[in-house]
Structure 1
Amino acid sequence: MSKKRDPETLSYRPCVGICLFNTEGRVFAGRRKMKEPAPYRWQLPQGGIDKGEKPLEAARRELFEETNVSSVRLLAEAPEWVSYDFPMDGGRRWSGKYRGQTQKWFAFLFEGDEAEIDVHNPGGDHHPEFDDWRWEELDAMPDLIVPFKRGAYEQMVAMFTPLAKGLADG
């Protein structure tokens, strides 16, 4: 018989989130292949930090593994980590090992040709996480993400809105 762990005692899984901006100040939004209902299937690239890996290295790796994109320039690193809890009624993510995730967000400017973006055949022989993508307004993202991540996305939007406006204004 397995013991159910108290979520309050669990740690947060360290990961990164990536805002990939185009020159007009819009962000890459990928439509997840997962089961979330519309419109909550859209999200920004994100993923775990491997043991011994620095957050910026993880951000570049995750971006490549999810989008095939490597033609980027770092614009900013969020000054603080942003956390969210997994829903208690949802599936047991990572076998119940984590309470949620804590993310270090990075903003990159996409400097390549859009043909580089390939969510169906992403870099590093990584299994595709997205089945479609589009450029989206940054402030629209909290309404497109699954509700349990919404607060984290609102914090990220607040941090990176000046960048988006600066790019949009030229």
Structure 2
Amino acid sequence: MSNLLDPGAEPEGAVVYRGVPALKAAVGDKLGPTAWFVVDQRRIDSFADDTEDHQWIHVDPQRAADGPFGATIAHGFLTLSLVPYFINQLRRVEGVAMGVNYGLDRVRFPAPLTAGTRIRATSEMTSVEDVGPGVVQVITRTTIEAEGSPKPVCVADLVARYHVGIDG
């Protein structure tokens, strides 16, 4: 989501949309790529602890070295959890009272993300529509690429709702 809770923390290079009309006019615009971000083994291990998913392909570098990917890989949901981080680097929305993650429409993990790999993202607002009084729904397709991989490691359609005119 955008930096609605801390408007002073504008990411460097983020596109600023001022109000719903600006969002609607931006449908189809492609943003990015973001800065590179390294997904290291420490982050993967921490995510495994947080989610109780300690499968060896994620947390056992010695065994994973002989496995199908040649190294440990990040959990798909770890990669997915970085989508809001990347969207914050790409855009900021002003003139709304609040934004919330509403859900996901489509998520795919076309390629594995091996530990220690740099990733970055691009995004495109594919839809902006009014869904209720003072509420607009924005669907953003975010593609996360890994350095050196011909396929993305994640493609996700994030559904967010922005509320206009709510005291917050």
Kindly indicate which of the two structures has a greater share of residues assigned to helix.
1
Identify, as 1 or 2, the structure richer in strand: 2
Q: Give the structure-2-normalised TM-score.
A: 0.26
TM-score (norm 1): 0.26
